[in-house]
Amino acid sequence: MESFEQKALDNYGSLIINKSFARKAGFGSRAIPVYVREWIVAHYVGDSPDLSDEARVKIADFVRKYVPDKGDRESIKNRLYEQNDVKLLDDYSVQVNLSKGDRYLLIPFLDESKGSIPPHIIRDNKMLLSSGIWGVGTLSYAPPSDDGPGQVLMRSFTPFQLASLDLEFFISRRRDFTTQEWIDFIINSMGFNHHIYSERQKILLISRLLPMVEPRYNLIELAPKGTGKSFVFENMSRYVTVRSGAISAPVLFYNDARKSPGLITRFDCVVIDEAQKVKGDRSGELTALLKSYLEAGRFGRGSAGSISAEAGVVILANIDLDEFKRPLHEMIGLFRDFPNFLRETAFLDRFSGLLPGWDLPRVSKDTPSVCLGLKGDIFGEILHMLRGDISYRDFVKTNMELENCDDMRDSRAIESGATGMLKILFPDQQPSEEDFYKYCVNPALEMRHRVRDEL
C-alpha cells in the first residue's frame, strides 16, 4: 500500500474504495456509470479490503435482477404489457410540461418519456426534477382506455443514498497529505493509474474537473481518439450530462413549447462530445444563445424572459496528429475542420481554457487505477459542494498577481481556473506561494493562453 492510500484510509475510512473493484465485479457491458457501480460494490463489499467470491455472486445477482442487457428492452416491455411488475435500475428523471399541466417520468432504458409517477415520490426525491437519480424503480403498465393512451407507471422507488458527507472534515484532513500524495490521491479517485502519467499529465487530467468544481468554467479539450476525453464526465458525477450528435436551443436552453428549462439550467456541467461532428446552426439561434450564456451566465428564449445559470460548458473534439504527435493543423488553426459556428473567434474567446489533450497518452490496459481512492459518488458530491464556496475566489484575488493582463476575459478566465484548481488540490487553502502558482495559476494561464492563440 502506498503512503497516500494509507493516509486516505486512515483519514477517510468508509469514503474510500479500491478503484479496481468496479471493473472486477462482473457488470459486463451494462451501461452504468462508474460512480453507480462503486455504490453497488460498496453495498456488498462493506469494509472488506477484498472483493470476495461471495460479494461477486451477490453483485452478479443484483445485476441480473435489476440491470437487463440493452437487447432485453422489448422483452421488458412485453412483461409490462402482460401486466407483470418490473423492477429496473435506471437514471430516472421527471419533466414538467406546463403547457399540458402534467409531469412525465423519463425511463432511459425503455426509451420512455411519458411515464407516470406519484407526487409523493417526486416530493421525496427532488433530484428527479434536476439532474435525475439512479435507483431501482418498480414499474407497471396501464393499458389504453377512454381516459388516454397506455402508460408506464412507477409504483415505488428506492434511490441510491449518498453516504453521510462532512465537507469541513474532508477539507481539514488535506493537511495530512503532501502535495504529491494528494495529487496521486485525486488521480486515482478519478479512476486513473498515477504511475503512468508525468506530473504535467496529472495536472492536465485534473484540469478536466474544473467545470465540475467551478461555476461557469467553460472548457475545450482537443485530442485524438482513444485518450479518454469523455470518461471523467460520463462516470464521475450525477451533476454532469454528456451529449453528442445534434444539439439544439430547446434542449440546451429552454423548450418554449413545453415551457421547460434546458440542460444548462439543470446540471453543473454540460458536455458536447465529438463536437467536430455537430451539425451546423443554420438559424444562428444556438450560437447567439451560447455566446450570451458563455459571456454573462444569462440567456433569454421565447416566453422565458431572462434566465441565469451556472453550468460549465465543455466541448470535446477529436483531432488528428502528425508523425511527431502534434496537432496536424497546429500552425494554421486547431479548429480548421470544425463546423463554422464553432470556429467563430467571438465564440471561442468566451471559453476559459483549451486543454491540450494531445499531450495525454492513449487509454491502455495500464490506464485504470488499481489503488484506493474516493468512491465516485462521494468525489462527485464533494466537487458539487465546493462550487458554491466563494472564499476560494477571494483567496485567488488576494494572492494572484498577473503582469500585463488587462483584458477582462483573460483575467476572469485565469482567475476562475486558478480558483478551481485551488479547490481541488488545496481545499484547505494552505498552499505555499510556489505551489499556488505552479499548480493553480500556471495551468489556468496556459489553458487561457491556448485559447488566445486560436483567435
Q: Please state, in angstroms and rounded to a whole number, the distance separating the CA atoms of residues 206 and 380.
A: 13
The confidence score (pLDDT) of residue 415 equals 98
Structural domains of the chain ordered from first start: 74-159 (2.40.50)
Identify the three-state secondary structure at position 127: helix
Residues 6+ apart with CB under 8 A from 167: 382, 385, 386
Cβ atoms of residues 197 and 187 within 8 Å: yes
Can you list the alpha helix ranges (DSSP code H) found in 248-400?
249-252, 285-296, 345-348, 376-386, 391-399
**What's the predicted TM-score (pTM) here?**
0.92
Per residue in 143-187, pLDDT tens?
998 888 999 999 999 998 776 689 999 999 999 999 999 999 999
The confidence score (pLDDT) of residue 163 equals 64
Element (DSSP H or E) covering residue 59: helix 53-66
Lowest mean pLDDT among 139-143, 252-256, 359-363: 252-256
**Is 383 a residue whose pLDDT tops 70?**
yes
* Cα within 13 Å of Cα(355), Cβ side: 29
Per residue in 297-353, pLDDT tens?
999 988 888 999 999 999 999 998 888 889 888 888 888 878 887 888 899 999 999
The confidence score (pLDDT) of residue 280 equals 64
Q: Please state, in angstroms and rounded to a whole number, the distance separating the CA atoms of residues 327 and 334.
A: 7
Which has the higher per-residue pLDDT, 364 or 160? 364
pLDDT above 90 covers a percentage of the chain that reads 75
The confidence score (pLDDT) of residue 31 equals 83
Per residue in 53-67, pLDDT tens?
999 999 999 999 999
Average pLDDT over residues 86-100: 92
Residue 277 C-alpha cell reads as: 461532428
Residues 6+ apart with CB under 8 A from 40: 25, 59, 62
The confidence score (pLDDT) of residue 48 equals 83
Residue 12 C-alpha cell reads as: 477517510
**Is 427 a residue whose pLDDT tops 90?**
yes
Average pLDDT over residues 238-247: 89
Cβ atoms of residues 265 and 311 within 8 Å: yes
Average pLDDT over residues 199-203: 98
Angle between helices 376-386 and 408-425 (to 10 degrees): 140
